[in-house]
Chains A and B, each alone.
Chain A
Amino acid sequence: MLSDRAPWTLRAAALGGLLFLHLPILLIFLYAFTTEERTYQFPPPGLTTQWFAVAWNREDIWPPLWLSLKVAAIATLLAMILGTLVAAAMARAKFFGREQISLLIILPIALPGIITGMSLRSAFAVMDIPFSIWTIMLGHATFCIVIVYNNAVARFRRLSGGILEASADLGANAFQTFRHILLPNLGSALLAGGMLAFALSFDEVIVTTFTAGSGTDAKTLPIWMLDELIRPRQRPVTNVVAILVFAATFFPILAAYYLTRGGGETAGGGK
């Protein structure tokens, strides 16, 4: 009696839900081409591609873009090193405090951004550290560690432990085993983790607002966008930037998914 075909109401609700998730983003794309620059009028009175050129020429967009890229790059690098180290430690034998460390790794992303942000802000106040690119990067690297860790540890578990032993058995020392066996087999998972970390850092706004300070050179691209959203100037230009931000997060995610598909663990499942 229990069929394998869902009742059409369920199917409609499920697909409707999925559409609900995706349609709003498509609107952003649409509005980047509208000729109307002062309101969000629908339907758009006309379509044009001029805003892309305008965005390219605007001076206040490039510095935040570079800053976001720099922070994301450094944070990702740090997260990849630290995340892989701790994944290597955790994937092996059981040891005292293992569960606590697991919790500690996940905490920066489990607690709301405002807590992480405010905590760092408090620390900076207590230790009298001035705001700079490093304070931004400090926060980003911290919550990116868990992203790389999840991917690395999942791949570690999938590695047949035998191949590491086989390598030693055949005469390779630890560094040779790392270089010839571990790295090639871990590689794509690490890359995926790195891409996700990059996307997360590039897009992050809440923690950044607490750790960036108020200088004009402390604006990342999301902060720029936030300012524009609250006090809009040329709205379609904001949309053009939105498309850029979206692409900078969308493509790494997709790439990470394809890199780690085919195993029990898939990138992104640990957010």
Chain B
Amino acid sequence: MTAPAILPARSAADRLTGLFWRKPNLLLILLITPPLLWLGLVYVGSLAALLLQSFYSIDEFSGVVKEEFTLKTYAELFRAQNLDIILRTLLMSAAVTLACAILAFPIAYYAARYAKGRWKAAFYLGVMLPLWSSYLVKVYAWKLILAKEGILSWATDATGTGFLISGLLAIPGLGGSSLSTSYIGTFLVFTYVWLPYMILPMQASLERVPASMLEASADLGATRSQTLRTVVLPLALPGIIAGSIFTFSLTMGDYIIPQIVGNSARFIGLAVYQQQGTAGNIPLAAAFAVVPIVIMVIYLMLAKRAGAFDAL
């Protein structure tokens, strides 16, 4: 008795598999519903709640949130002290982005163009590990470094360059009584912590520059720096923009670093935290939180136009 051409289904699993074969969309729906439900409810729902809260307002006398639609809370953002906060945050974000771009370039360029084999892996790990290392530990490390009695002062005293530090601290508006309580200190820590986020996309887009193009440029008589300016930089631009998205967005949203290394001046992140905590003014906190979203959306749209997403 020869075997049949169609084997019998031996179990429910067999029959279920048959069902998935007949209706492949069924499997797809089963797979994607739980995560989609979670992300939709938990995340998108929360974003909606945030937006909703920003249109509520708080009653100044009772401290209770009035759940009626109003633009009063957004109007509060335009008060001088709040505008100050927003502006300060924007400036710091821009400065940090610029510094990261400049510092990241040699590393990214070297790793993309010249590092081969084991060195490439070493560079990769060398950037990955700080990237994933504990955020707080990194910030803490800088608190140690910048402390008045810490290693930086020791090093500048030992080399007689202490005047540089005092000079920096004397700059009005940026300096302060010590590095760890000044904008400069905050700026340094931001740059340090976000640097890997700039290096990676930059390296990715620099790796896409074919070596043949650089050779052609040299062939046509350009010097190294000319090649750098006219060929490499424009081609690396998408990577730079992609990295800047990270550094800008992360700086705008951070409120821990200014608390630990910096004076008590407020940034958006800190304003959000304080308003929703001790002040209980959740609507204002929400309104503040919407500001970075709007800025980043505009930034992302401009970046997409400039072709940055090819580097991601």
Contact = CB atoms under 8 A, between A and B. Distances in A.
> Do A's and B's CB atoms come within 8 Å in the complex?
yes
Interface of A: 1-2, 4-7, 10-11, 13-14, 16-18, 20-22, 24-25, 27-28, 31, 39-43, 81-83, 85-86, 88-89, 92-93, 95, 101, 104-105, 107-108, 110-116, 118-123, 125-127, 138, 141-142, 145, 168, 171, 173-176, 196, 199-200, 203, 205-206, 209-210, 214, 222, 225-226, 229-230, 238-239, 242, 245-246, 248-250, 253-254, 257, 266, 268-269, 271
Interface stretch (B43-51, B78-86, B163-171, B233-241): B43-51
A45 B257 CA distance: 28
- Secondary structure call for the B interface: helix
A206 B292 contact: no
Contacts of A13: 106-107, 110
Nearest to B29: A89
B215 interface: yes
A203 B136 contact: yes
A138 B49 CA distance: 15
Nearest to B255: A114
A173 B141 contact: no
B234 to A, nearest CB: 18
B13 A86 contact: no
A113 B126 contact: no
A112 B253 contact: yes
Interface of B: 7, 11, 13-14, 16-17, 20, 24-25, 27-28, 31-32, 34-36, 38-40, 42-47, 49-50, 52-53, 65, 103-104, 106-107, 109-111, 113-114, 123-145, 147, 149-151, 153-154, 192, 195-197, 200, 211, 214-215, 218-219, 224, 249-250, 252-256, 259-260, 268-269, 272-273, 276-277, 282, 285-286, 289, 292-293, 296
20 contacts: A10-B109, A14-B110, A21-B127, A27-B144, A43-B154, A85-B32, A85-B34, A89-B32, A115-B289, A118-B289, A125-B53, A138-B42, A142-B38, A145-B39, A173-B11, A196-B132, A205-B135, A239-B140, A253-B128, A253-B133
